[in-house]
């Protein structure tokens, strides 16, 4: 099963934050992290011992997608970003794949709270949160005892603007997948175990995909 996972309500600024989501929020084990030019992919071990490939920049990944470790499915993270890109993916896999679009949803209030409370280590870049995941010792990293600080763009004004842009970009995509019966919303304001269970259950259930143009 070819699996497309689209994050539509948990905007992250970069691929490292997405990686943190998989490893810290969902509890996946990082097996491989590969960067080759403009391309990046990771391989994760999920509960049960199975592995899954996550592609962050699918452009130019045609050969990678065709490899053996992607034959049972893979995740496209942060892609597609436009309707045209979504249509290209749909047409490319319409004869051979199941497409699952998973929407990890969180209220604007919760998103802003998570952003403005985030603190990072200046030495090892480990991430903490003032209330949701505080360090053992205030102001010090649990891993290396480095100084914790807040990034200048982790403030409410910037977070609200990022949400506005994110909504503008993703609303058409949400409607695209929803109109085709491919969108699966999941409440991400719960434990990582609950989120992971719902994601895996959705992926296993949705094994048939009827292309709208067939």
Give CA separation, 34 vs 5, 30, 82, 149, in Å: 20, 11, 25, 28
Instruction: Identify the band that residue 169 occupies on the pLDDT scale cut at 50, 70 and 90.
Output: confident
| Share above pLDDT 70 across residues of the chain, in percent, rounded to a whole number | 73
Give backbone dihedrals phi and psi of 198, rounded to 5 degrees, phi first.
-65, -40
Q: What would the pLDDT profile of 5-30 be if each residue is shown by its tens digit?
A: 333 334 444 667 677 777 776 777 77
Residues near 187 by Cβ (< 8 Å), separated by ≥ 6?
A: 105, 106
Question: Quick check: 148 pLDDT over 80?
Answer: yes
- Report, as an integer, the average pLDDT of 59-76: 68
Q: What is the per-residue burial (b if ≥16 Cβ within 10 Å, else e) of 10-22?
A: bbbeebeebbebb
Question: Quick check: 209 pLDDT over 50?
Answer: no
CA–CA separation, 156 vs 179, rounded Å? 33
- What is the pLDDT at residue 101? 85
CA–CA separation, 3 vs 204, rounded Å? 10
If one compares 66 and 28, the residue with the highest pLDDT of the two is 28
Q: What would the pLDDT profile of 68-119 be if each residue is shown by its tens digit?
A: 777 667 777 767 777 887 887 777 776 656 778 888 888 999 989 988 999 9
Q: What is the dihedral of CA 69, 54, 20, 102, to 10 degrees?
A: -120
Q: What angle do CA 138, 140, 146 make, to 5 degrees?
A: 165
pTM recorded for the entire structure: 0.64
Q: What would the pLDDT profile of 170-188 be if each residue is shown by its tens digit?
A: 889 889 999 988 889 999 8
Q: Please, are residues 33 and 19 in contact by the beta-carbon 8 Å criterion?
A: yes
Question: For the chain, how big is the Rg over CA atoms in Å?
Answer: 18
CA quadruple 173, 175, 181, 184: dihedral positive or negative?
positive
Question: Quick check: 214 pLDDT over 60?
Answer: no
- What is the pLDDT at residue 138? 94
Q: Where are the alpha helices (DSSP H) in 1-126?
A: 15-20, 62-65, 83-93, 108-116
Question: Quick check: 67 pLDDT over 80?
Answer: no
The alpha carbon of residue 47 and the mean position of all alpha carbons in its chain are separated, in whole angstroms, by 17
Instruction: Identify the band that residue 1 occupies on the pLDDT scale cut at 50, 70 and 90.
Output: very low
Instruction: Identify the band that residue 191 occupies on the pLDDT scale cut at 50, 70 and 90.
Output: confident
Q: Please, are residues 57 and 39 in contact by the beta-carbon 8 Å criterion?
A: yes
**Taking Cα atoms as reference points, which of 105, 103, 101 lies closest to residue 3?**
101
- What is the pLDDT at residue 2? 37
Question: Quick check: 53 pLDDT over 70?
Answer: yes
């Amino acid at each position: 099963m070819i699996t497309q996972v689209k994050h539509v309500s948990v905007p992250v600024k970069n691929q490292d934050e997405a990686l943190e989501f998989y490893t810290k929020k969902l509890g996946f084990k990082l097996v491989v992290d590969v960067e080759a030019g403009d391309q990046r992919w990771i391989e994760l071990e999920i509960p049960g011992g199975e592995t899954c490939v996550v592609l962050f920049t699918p452009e130019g990944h045609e050969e990678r997608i065709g490899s053996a470790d992607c034959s049972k499915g893979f995740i496209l993270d942060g892609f597609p970003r436009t309707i045209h890109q979504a249509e290209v993916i749909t047409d490319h896999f319409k004869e051979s794949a199941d497409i699952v679009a998973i929407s990890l949803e969180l209220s604007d209030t919760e998103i802003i709270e998570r952003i403005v409370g985030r603190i990072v280590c200046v030495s090892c870049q480990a991430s903490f949160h003032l209330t949701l995941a505080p360090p053992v010792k205030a102001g010090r990293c649990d891993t290396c005892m480095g100084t914790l600080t807040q990034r200048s763009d982790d403030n409410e004004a910037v977070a609200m603007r990022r949400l506005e842009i994110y909504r503008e970009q993703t609303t058409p995509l949400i409607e695209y997948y929803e109109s085709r019966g491919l969108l699966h919303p999941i409440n991400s304001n719960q434990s990582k175990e609950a989120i992971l269970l719902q994601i895996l259950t959705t992926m296993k259930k949705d094994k048939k995909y009827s292309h709208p143009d067939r």
